[in-house]
Chain A
């Protein structure tokens, strides 16, 4: 098994941290894993993304052209990555910011109002963890508990007081993904396949 995931969003939305969290969790679960960010000017307010590759064997390429999964936290990210998600791959989209329908019918898609859910937990900046929860619920990447533990271990010290809220947001994201589960067809974005 080797899976590649791209996390992408506006700088400050926490896409890079969501990827790191998954990376820490993969490490704790004894997987091989790489995390590589986009770096440079994008970090200062533009779109930031990172690529995580998780596998049972040593990772060859830390970058991929067609990721297995994409977590798109804003519209530019959805526009950029929807076309390149691998066939039968998964796209998790922040429905609070992406108001357009999903165009691909050959991928699974979860449209989750991550900002709204995060707001319910008192902090819009939890949207990244909400989306990570949704990603984990919809895949067999890693158990949710491992990521929960990674949160405990790696949430920056200055954010430690937000740990309960983070955990709750993670579960809420997962729960949302499960409830929109039509099992047979997965999360196929377009029921009407052509």
Chain B
């Protein structure tokens, strides 16, 4: 199929439709609004359900409702709207119904601004809703990858009866890239057995997140944890670049993950043996794979568009064996190779001085002759 130029938000919307989305509920918020607008244009013509809700609180609960009848339901928003959805996300997780949520992150805290950010790592990967649960969190770094990930999202959501989150930032939502759009997926007509379809010829089904009694609620939690362990075992995704002989490792996700590719190539040109580890699933995180890599390299640099949120996870994985340092930009500023390379030099220097050696002349940031 020929490549077409798509804007990130619209590509996500169209790919979600081709993945089988049947119902979309959302509320306008920059920088994700084109996703909602695309749905408003396309869904009525496809005979699907589009509804602009009165708030993000309402839209996530509409998704919750539609999910209980077995519909492939989704919503999208940006950081402040996602904060409002945390209540519904916790209920959906406890009720074990499938849902897809797109978060096109913007700068925070508070109203912040509408520029790109990765400040929702904590709220989406650690989950800001109450209780113990996780969503599968997918972090694309290109529009093609965003399409491919959301194309898988309903299958993942239904397989595990879980929330699947696409976590991207405003720049990915707003930019255009050549992509290939996949075909429409076929789904069976029949609803899953757990869905509410009316108590016809069977006992009533109920879907609830209320488990009075400590024993009952613990049972639910144990079941959820078992499911999460299964997801961890099966669904980890990540990508590496030039790690085979790497002495140093940059860990970055999403937009920063692709920018770090440029940084790695530039540093390699200057003779620095650096590789890139880019987690694609932020939950489940590629813990074992990264841990194995931290045993081979001398230092790790984490680059993010926040104050160091994934940084905490990478530090925990490295377990103090090697230096793990951080570089990041906030407030809607995207860290560019010019930001990442000096931080890489600082890491290299600190590793070498730690080993009692003088800093060597190799500099990642120097422009090669």
Contact = CB atoms under 8 A, between A and B. Distances in A.
Contacts, number: 63
B204 to A, nearest CB: 49
Given A61-B258, A65-B336, A36 B5 contact: no
B262 A65 contact: no
Closest 8 CB pairs of A and B: A60-B262, A36-B175, A61-B259, A60-B261, A35-B176, A27-B178, A40-B114, A61-B262
A27 B5 contact: yes
Sorting the interface of chain B by its residue count into under 10, 10 to 19, 20 to 34 or 35 or more gives: 20 to 34
B360 interface: no
Contacts of A33: 177-178
Interface string A53-73: 000001111111100000000
B31 interface: yes
Contacts of B338: 65
Given A34-B175, A39-B170, A60-B262, 13 more contacts: A24-B5, A34-B177, A35-B5, A35-B176, A35-B177, A36-B171, A39-B30, A59-B177, A59-B258, A60-B260, A60-B337, A62-B175, A65-B338
A60 B258 contact: yes
Given A27-B5, A35-B175, A36-B175, A64 B170 contact: no
Contacts of B115: 40
Interface of B: 3, 5, 30-31, 113-115, 142, 170-171, 174-178, 255, 258-263, 265, 334, 336-338
Interface of A: 20, 23-24, 27, 32-37, 39-40, 58-65
A60 B30 contact: no
Nearest to A64: B336
Contacts of B178: 27, 32-33
15 contacts: A23-B5, A24-B5, A27-B5, A32-B178, A34-B177, A35-B176, A36-B176, A39-B30, A39-B31, A40-B113, A60-B260, A61-B258, A61-B334, A62-B258, A63-B336
Nearest to B261: A60
B176 A40 contact: no
Nearest to B31: A39
Contacts of A34: 175-177
Contacts of A65: 336, 338
A65 B263 CA distance: 13
A36 B171 CA distance: 7
Nearest to B142: A58
Contacts of A63: 171, 259, 334, 336
Contacts of B265: 60
